[in-house]
Chains A and B, each alone.
Chain A
Amino acid sequence: MSFISEFDQLDLTGLTSFAENATGATVEAALARSAEEVRRTSGMLLADFAALVSPKAAEPQYLEEMAQSSHRLSAKHFGRVIRLFAPIYLSNECINVCKYCGFSRDNPILRVTLTLEQIKTEAAFLREQGFRHVLLVAGDHPHFASAKYLRQCVTVLHGDWPSISLEVGPMETDEYKGCVQAGAEGLTIYQETYNRAVYDKMHVSGPKKDFTWRLETPERASSAGFKRVGIGALLGLAPWRSEVIALTSHANYLLKHCWRSQLMLSIPRIRPAAGEFQPLVHVGDRDLVQLVCALRLTFPEVGIVLSTRESPKLRDGLIPLGVTMMSAGSHTEPGGYTGQGKEGLHLTKGGRVIKRMAPLVESEGEQATVQFEIADNRTPIEVAARLESMGYEPVWKDWEVVLSEG
């Protein structure tokens, strides 16, 4: 028994159509139930969520009311604090061909996998900036980003980092257990799209093509002992209302079945990257605001993560609406913070190395290719100062090493 059987029975078409045709009365009822935190059946919860992401609810009078209620619920459950974290990209090697991703195997980009020493240097830089929560990111590659390598990465950072999370290719439960025992606390795994047809089209080849294996990953992660599990949909691949209704159904399932893991939700939008992929559907700023409010109203106690994919203006605007965790000053390429790994750079095409780059001692021009371009270029200190000016405490440390000892 896993979410897949529930997902297969989910009437996504019906719920999406319910959203598209929602009336003012439907929105008002959903909003009232959500704002009052009324307990509902799973079916009613999903219908209310659909109403909250409906075109009707996007009308100014409803959107403002949603924003006010979201703000109130966020303050009540999370207070006036925002946790900060930063990603460290370990490797941009990948065996999957995914149309939207800069690291796609087909893209002729500069790749590298950092050594443990290089990772420590990158981490030391972030620590100096204040971060105590780190997210280790790697492409999906059984050789370069193996379970053993990832476990070693966690091990070398564990003593200095109160919280270490992973965002890497899906693994088996036992492999995840190894990472948890080494000191990893969280695991992030986006389904990318919950639309099977689009999923199949976007994931041209590689293990990522297996929709079900990926969909069941959060459950494997939770049973392996990860204390935080993050899920998300990459917005811009399929009609967003259907995507987030499916995401909500997934979240609701995990809350009931993986109750020991804290659930985190992410709603990244596609950003420019190598491969020049253009979003297949438009998801506007207004849509994103509505979505954050709808998620907060539906799941008052669930964390919402916001990355540097979004602009400073939008990020600042979303903070009071329900965001609980933000990255800042991010680099989305291995070695991006301190220029580590240049001697290992190589150009690959179709998975084959076509050119080894000469070690670049004098010049600083060449570096590994980014996964995507970020949109908020503020430094961590600038982001923290902005939070303070908005009446929020930037929290750098909210976990402890001894709580992450498998």
Chain B
Amino acid sequence: MTGQTSTFRIAGREFGSRLIMGTGKFASCQIMAAAAAASGTAIVTVALRRADLSGQQDKFANILSFIDTKKYLLLPNTSGARTAEEACRLARLGREATGSTWIKLEIHPDPRYLLPDAVETLKSAETLIKEGFTVLPYINADPVLAKRLEDVGCATVMPLGSPIGSARGIETRASIEIIIEQANVPVVVDAGLGAPSHAAEAMEMGADAVLVNTAIAVATDPVRMAAAFKAAVEAGRVAFELGLAPKRREAEATSPLTSFLKES
């Protein structure tokens, strides 16, 4: 199915999958790597705080060694940062350690629901873009913020469907629809997608991609769940490109009431 849908690009780079996978919460790095392969993903995101950034190949913090950068684009993220300054520091350190100039901005001062701070995110996006980073910001589903981030040069916007790990699906639907309608950069629905049907729903709405982590990581069989998400994302995208049948309140009459006009 993938081959039939239009291509997906971020910052001029083409990707063969519209499913981005997160790497937290897995029972082991081996299972994470197997799930990434089964998901068909082309981009995996890693929390820099989990990785060794000292350049000493720390075997107790070796998550990066499980990610084949020939197969995947490594997308470091700033999870744990609570201010723009912390996110910038972490991004710079991540660039030195991984060589990647791509950064997924995550700034959540609230450690309970991990909801993103709009003010700090915009501030750090501006700074990092000036420093040459390709910035993909995780945001609440705020259409005005999405436009502001696009204006300062973000490569995507990544609105949340519902809080990270909540598995509640797309509870921000109305706002995400506006974001998608207005965006000139790819829209990646990030966070809260707890079931393949949620991912399919995002794709049917016209999101360019989705990011999934918890639902795959904590599944009884993460590898098979990754494959299920892959299928759902592909199906949702095909459906969006073909155009969904409009919803109707009533059944459509099999014998149209105005057909007599054609009879003469």
Contact = CB atoms under 8 A, between A and B. Distances in A.
Do A and B belong to a common assembly?
A: yes
A403 interface: yes
Interface in A335-391: 388, 391
Interface in B1-44: 24-29
Interface centre among A259, A263, A400 (most CB of B within 10 A): A400
Given A76-B214, A80-B27, A393-B27, A262 B49 contact: no
Nearest to A81: B25
A206 interface: no
Contact of B112 (A78, A255, A388, A392): A255
Contacts of A263: 111-112
A396 B61 contact: yes
B90 A79 contact: no
Interface in B164-188: 165, 167
Interface stretch (B52-60, B136-144, B254-262): B52-60
Contacts of B93: 400, 402
A260 B82 contact: yes
Interface string A149-182: 0000000000000100000000000000000000
Nearest to A390: B27
B218 interface: yes
Given A76-B167, A301-B112, A393-B28, A403 B60 contact: no
A399 interface: yes
Interface in B90-138: 90, 93, 109-113
A162 B48 CA distance: 12
Given A398-B49, A402-B89, A261 B111 contact: yes
Contacts of A392: 27
Nearest to A395: B50
A-side interface mostly: loop
A335 B112 CA distance: 36
Interface string B69-80: 000000000001
Interface centre among B48, B111, B165, B167 (most CB of A within 10 A): B111
Given A259-B112, A391-B27, A79 B82 contact: no
Interface residues of B, number: 33
B80 A400 contact: yes
B194 to A, nearest CB: 9
A188 to B, nearest CB: 16
A404 to B, nearest CB: 9
A132 interface: yes
A399 B61 CA distance: 10
B94 to A, nearest CB: 9
Task: Place the interface of chain A in its size category.
Answer: 20 to 34
Contacts of B60: 130-132, 396-397
B214 to A, nearest CB: 7
B160 interface: no
A388 B49 contact: no
A397 B49 CA distance: 7
Interface in A261-280: 261-263
A193 B211 CA distance: 45
A399 B111 CA distance: 13
A265 to B, nearest CB: 13
B52 A403 contact: no
Contacts of B214: 76, 79
A76 B165 contact: yes
A81 B47 CA distance: 14
Contacts of A132: 58, 60-61
B53 A400 contact: yes
Contacts of A393: 26-29
A397 B112 contact: no
Nearest to B86: A403
B81 interface: yes
A12 interface: no
B188 to A, nearest CB: 21
B89 A405 contact: yes
A75 interface: yes
Given A80-B217, A81-B25, A402-B93, A397 B58 contact: yes
Contact of A403 (B26, B28, B90, B112): B90
Q: Which 5 A-B pairs have the closest CB atoms?
A: A79-B25, A262-B111, A397-B61, A80-B27, A396-B60
Given A80-B27, A393-B28, A398-B50, 9 more contacts: A76-B218, A80-B25, A227-B82, A259-B110, A301-B113, A396-B61, A397-B51, A397-B60, A403-B80
Interface of B: 24-29, 47-53, 58, 60-61, 80-82, 86, 89-90, 93, 109-113, 165, 167, 214, 217-218
26 contacts: A76-B167, A78-B25, A79-B214, A80-B27, A81-B24, A81-B25, A132-B60, A132-B61, A227-B82, A227-B111, A259-B110, A260-B110, A261-B111, A262-B112, A263-B111, A263-B112, A388-B28, A391-B27, A392-B27, A393-B26, A393-B29, A398-B49, A399-B49, A400-B49, A402-B89, A403-B80
